[in-house]
Every structure is written in C-alpha cells, then in structure tokens.
C-alpha cells in the first residue's frame, strides 16, 4: 500500500481551514481523513473513524471526532464535530456506561448542540494520549485479523509496535479494554483489534496516517510471505443472467417483504467473487459471519445461496429456508440478552450465485451499491484468509449483539408506528 500524502495538498487544506477560522490541526485532519477514505482497501461507506485533539482559544482541550452519517472520503469540518475532552476522560475511571448513557455523554460534550452524534468509538480516541488517531478496516488487516490464535503471529510481524486487543464489542467496553492494553504497552504505535481492524496514533497527522499505511503494508507482506496474493479492488466483469435477476425481483417484491415497494439489485462478478462463489463449501464459509462486525448491519449475518439455474420454486424455497434460519438465530440469541429485542426482517441482503457472482439487495440504489462494495472487499478478504489459514470472524453471539445493538434497536423504536 502506498502513502497518498502530498505536501502541497496538505498545505491547501491547512490554508482553507485557517481562512475559515479553524485550526491547522482540523485542516490536516480533514485532509488525512479524505486520503484514508479515498482508498477502498482502508475503509468503505462510513467505516473507520478519525480524530484530532486541539486546544481552544480559552485553553480548553477539545477533540474533533468523526460524526455519524459522514464518510471519510468526502468529510468536511461539520463531519468532525468538536467535543470537550475533560468529561470524556472522566468516564475512564467512572462506572460502566450503557450505550444510551454513553451517547448522552458524547452529545452533552459537543460544542455545538446540533452537531452529528460523535462516533461510538469516541471514548477510545479520547483515552489515547495522542493528537491524531486513525482507525480503519483495511482488507489486508481483516484477512489476518479473522484468523484464530493470531497473537503470536502479530508479535512476530510487528514486534512491540502494535498491542493486541482481543475482540470486544465496539463502544464503551472496547474503549476501556483497549485503553488498559495501551497503558500496558506505552511504547506501541497502534492497536491490533482482533476480528475488527487497526488503530494508529501520533502527535503529527502525517505520522499517524503513514503508520497506518506502513502497518497495512506489513500485513500485505505477511500474506505474500505465505504465498497469498491479496490483489486490489476489482471491476465486475462477469455476465449476469437477466432471467435470474427477473425471478429474484419477482420473489422479493411480494407482500410482507421489506422490498414490496421496490427492490434494487447490485450484481457483482469479479475474479475474486467468482473464486469465492466456486468454493464447494461457500455456504458454510458464509455462515461463519462477516469480515468486520459493522458489516452485519448492512448485509445481514450470512448470504442466501442459489444455484445459477434456480427457478421460481428454488428461489422461494431458498427464501423460506433463509427466513427459518434467521428466526432460529434470533430466538436463540435474544433469549440470552438482558433487554427485549425486536426482530428485524427475515430477508437476505446478499444472494450468492454459485460459481457466478453476488447480488446485493437494497430498498434503493445507494443501499444496494453499498452492499455490493462491501461484498467485493469481503470476498477478497475471505479468499486471502482461507488461503492463509481459516477465515474465522466473530462468533454468532457477538455477531447478533452487533446486529441487535441497543443503539440500532432504539432507531427501530423511534420509527415504529
């Protein structure tokens, strides 16, 4: 992976920030966020987050942190709202916060009341004692992070430069655990998050960004050492079966479906997708889960798998089987939670056509494209993970907790009739 840093571009962002009455640090934060977001092998569609700590004119310590609803590749100053740092740091030694309480703390700490919600990982950004913090879900990192028992391998590859963080649910708990691990490894330059991604940090914007590039490159080199060629993002070039599309659209448009008012299908058939779709055990691999936890919110826990010649009856049977499996998954996992859960719809968001390609489903074209982009990255990560060892993402219980996160459930409650 190559650094996209350019001194002239960085200077233009700093100049624009100063002209707008903003800090040099915010200008650099916007710039490095955009060059991170501009590389689909680092983050996609709202993934990842960045922050910058600054001192206000009155001497108060503030932190700019990515806000909900913003993508890094197009982020502007409003997408990096400022929060007061002191109340966030106090949470480190306070009582455990529920998700709603954490969100309330973050909102109460905003300088501008109408700013977007700060990232759910804002506390971890606050706890790390560096001016700039970057977090990504890089493809090469995921190929290695989704392996069993990788602590010794990460130590071999990165030495003491990265501290290893076992999987913890994003949010308050991850912030506390990762902060403790950082403090146990005070000389480290980043955090390796099992089944999740990578954090880097420094007191200089370029240094933090280029640590990210260096560490992702080292992951690529480890894959190459094992004979695994990850390759870059690919263009879809496989032919689509128009008849299969029509049959899918018909089946998905029935009453009771979330797509009854319209369904959009984004078809992808790259070399990597065809390699994945041709695996004899592709359905079993898909049932293991998503390559990084937050993908489950976009594309569900697993795909529906069809034969290339699936007729109407086969599609109906596959949808019924998917719904039955999803209801069982919900019942199994909802029974162990401390709060009631409202089941989401039982329809897939990804349909894998054996040996051919993948359809991402959405209620609009944007949602379908996002799903397609995530699938394109995910299949390359899964192929690499399987070639390196065994694709082993978070387990079902953790995946359910992410899909049915209370913050997502609260949105459902607000939108319910």
What pLDDT was estimated at residue 85?
98
Ramachandran angles phi, psi of 179, nearest 5°: -65, -40
CA distance 194 to 137: 11
Architecture per CATH, 242-415: 3-Layer(aba) Sandwich (3.40)
CATH fold match for the domains 7-225 and 242-415: yes
What pLDDT was estimated at residue 406?
76
Question: Which two three-digit tokens encode residue 133?
Answer: 């913090």
Domains of the chain, residue spans: 7-225, 242-415
Q: What pairs with residue 311 in β-bridges?
A: none
What pLDDT was estimated at residue 411?
43
Give the CATH fold of the 7-225 domain: L-fuculose-1-phosphate Aldolase (3.40.225)
C-beta atoms surrounding 243 within 10 Å: 11
What would the DSSP string read from start to end of 265-292?
EEEE--HHHHHHHT-TTHHHHHTT--SS
> Could you tell me whether strands 162-165 and 190-193 are parallel, antiparallel, or unpaired per DSSP bridges?
parallel
C-beta atoms surrounding 239 within 10 Å: 9
List all residues 6 or more positions away from 412 whose beta carbon is below 8 Å from its beta carbon.
Answer: 342, 344
List all residues 6 or more positions away from 304 whose beta carbon is below 8 Å from its beta carbon.
Answer: 318, 319, 322, 348, 350, 351, 352
What would the DSSP string read from start to end of 218-247?
HHHHHHHHTT----------SPP-HHHHHH
Q: What is the helix, strand, coil percentage profile of the chain, to 5?
A: 50, 15, 40
Would you give the end-to-end CA distance of the chain in angstroms? 48
Alpha-carbon torsion angle 277, 271, 399, 280, nearest 10: 20
What pLDDT was estimated at residue 416?
40
Cα angle vertex 286, ends 388, 315, to 5°?
145
What pLDDT was estimated at residue 409?
54
- Contacts of residues 307-315 at CB distance under 8 Å and 24 or more positions apart, as own/partner, are 307/353, 307/354, 308/241, 308/244, 308/353, 308/354, 308/355, 308/356, 310/244, 310/247, 310/353, 311/247, 312/247, 312/250, 312/251, 315/247, 315/248, 315/251
* Spatial CA neighbour of 296 closest among 375, 391, 223: 375
C-beta atoms surrounding 18 within 10 Å: 13
Put simply, whether the predicted model's pTM sits higher than 0.85 gets the answer yes
CA distance 106 to 289: 30
Mean pLDDT per segment of 10 residues, for the chain of length 417 residues? 97 98 98 97 92 96 94 96 98 93 96 93 98 98 97 98 96 96 97 97 98 98 96 92 97 93 96 97 97 93 98 98 98 92 95 98 95 96 98 96 78 42
CB–CB of 212/33 below 8 Å? no
What pLDDT was estimated at residue 46?
83
């Amino acid at each position: 992976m190559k650094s996209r840093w350019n001194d002239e571009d960085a200077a233009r962002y700093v100049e624009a920030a100063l002209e707008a009455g903003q800090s040099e640090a915010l200008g650099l934060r916007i710039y490095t966020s955009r060059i991170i977001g501009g590389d689909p092998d680092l983050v996609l569609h709202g993934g990842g987050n960045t922050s910058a700590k600054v001192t206000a004119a009155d001497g108060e310590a503030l932190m700019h942190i990515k806000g909900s609803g913003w993508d890094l590749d197009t982020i502007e100053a409003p997408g990096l709202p400022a929060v007061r740092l002191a109340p966030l740091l106090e949470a480190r030694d306070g009582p455990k916060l529920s998700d709603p309480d954490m969100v309330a703390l973050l909102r109460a700490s905003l300088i501008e009341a109408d700013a977007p919600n700060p990232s759910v990982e804002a506390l971890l950004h606050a706890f790390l004692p560096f001016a700039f913090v970057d977090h990504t879900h890089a493809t090469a990192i995921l190929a290695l992070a989704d392996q069993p028992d990788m602590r010794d391998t990460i130590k071999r590859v990165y030495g003491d430069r990265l501290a290893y963080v076992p999987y913890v649910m994003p949010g308050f708990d991850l912030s506390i655990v990762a902060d403790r691990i950082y403090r146990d490894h005070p000389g480290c330059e980043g955090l390796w998050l099992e089944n999740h991604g990578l954090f880097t940090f420094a007191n200089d914007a370029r240094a933090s960004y280029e640590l990210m590039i260096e560490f992702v490159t080292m992951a690529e080199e480890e894959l190459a050492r094992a004979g695994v060629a990850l390759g870059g993002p690919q263009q879809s070039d496989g032919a689509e079966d128009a008849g299969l599309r029509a049959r899918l659209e018909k089946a998905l448009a029935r009453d009771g479906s979330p797509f009854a008012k319209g369904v959009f299908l984004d078809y992808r058939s790259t070399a990597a997708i065809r390699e994945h779709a041709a695996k004899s055990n592709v359905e079993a691999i898909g049932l293991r889960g998503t390559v990084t936890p937050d993908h489950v919110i976009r594309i569900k826990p697993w795909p529906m798998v069809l034969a290339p010649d699936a007729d109407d009856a086969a599609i109906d049977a596959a949808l019924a089987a998917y719904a039955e499996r999803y209801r069982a998954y919900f019942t199994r996992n909802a029974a162990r939670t401390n709060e009631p859960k409202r089941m989401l719809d039982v329809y897939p968001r990804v349909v894998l056509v054996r040996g051919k390609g993948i359809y991402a489903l959405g209620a609009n074209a944007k949602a379908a494209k996002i799903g397609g982009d995530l699938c394109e990255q995910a299949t390359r990560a899964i192929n690499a993970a399987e070639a390196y060892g065994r694709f082993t993402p978070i387990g079902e219980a953790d995946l359910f907790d992410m899909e049915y996160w209370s913050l997502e459930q609260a949105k459902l409650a607000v939108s319910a009739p």
